[in-house]
Amino acid sequence: MSVARTPSVSLRGVQIYAGLIPSEAQEALVAALRECARQAPFFTPVTASGKAMSVRMTSAGRLGWVTDRRGYRYEPRHPSGVAWPKIPDQVLTLWRDLVNAERDPDCCLINYYGEGSKMGMHQDRDEGDFNWPVLSVSLGDDALFRVGNLERGGKTESIWLNSGDVLVMGGAARLVHHGVDRLRFGSSTLLEKGGRINLTCRVVA
């Protein structure tokens, strides 16, 4: 998998590497993620207020991100009690090439977006050290990604993310609000039943 060192687009400091992962590598990565989901099945997360999110999720790595009525946090085990699977090698290669070759992420959050799924504007701030960038991978259907500001509200900018795109949120962009407004459901044939997989890699501690 060749890795470009120069991002295609910088959106409010978020570095976007368009089409970084070629088609065959996307298929291999999806197969690796299916194995992750076999070991630690997807579940429907619930916010602290009790509202079910529209995405389904699981994780890989030393820690996994979860949310329920106890709030947002990282846990060493899947809600079922099983250990999280290892982060796929393909994902670690991207991290080492684009973020850091000496310190691997603690968590690779795996979100599945089905038809009608979206993600409200939020910050990634459950980690202990914001000096480490966040790496995100898009697989499957196109997603309208929106980027805002450090403070909630104000003007935003949006861009369509396609299958194989990778983005890095670091530096001043590490804590910008961001979200996914909608999918072009069925725009990709990568996933048999349509939809989008988003991977988010983070150093937690």
Give me 111's structure tokens. Answer: 């979100």
Q: Is residue 174 part of a domain?
A: yes
Residue 186 inside a domain? The answer is yes
pLDDT in tens, the chain (205 residues): 445 568 999 999 999 999 999 999 999 999 999 999 999 999 999 988 899 999 999 999 999 999 999 999 999 999 999 999 999 999 999 999 999 999 999 999 999 999 999 999 999 999 999 999 999 999 999 999 999 999 999 999 999 999 999 999 999 999 999 999 999 999 999 999 999 999 999 999 8
SS3 track for 130-155? CCCCEEEEEEECEEEEEECCCCCCCC
Please check whether residue 4 lies inside any domain of the structure.
Answer: no
Cα separation, 22 vs 163, whole angstroms: 9
Kindly state whether residue 119 falls inside one of the protein's structural domains: yes
Q: Tell me which H or E stretch contains 36.
A: helix 23-39
Q: Per the structure, how many domains does the chain have?
A: 1
At 2 the pLDDT is 45
C-alpha 203/C-alpha 5 separation (Å) is 21
Q: Tell me whether residue 80 is in a domain.
A: yes
Give a yes or no: residue 15 inside a domain: yes
Distance of CA 91 to the CA centre of its chain: 11
Whether 189 is covered by a domain: the verdict is yes
Whole-number Å distance between alpha carbons of 114 and 49: 22
Residue 28 sits in a domain of what CATH number?
2.60.120.590
Q: What is the pTM of this model?
A: 0.95
Domain assignment of residue 14, given as a range? 9-202
Give domain status of residue 19, yes or no.
yes
d(CA 153, CA 166): 25
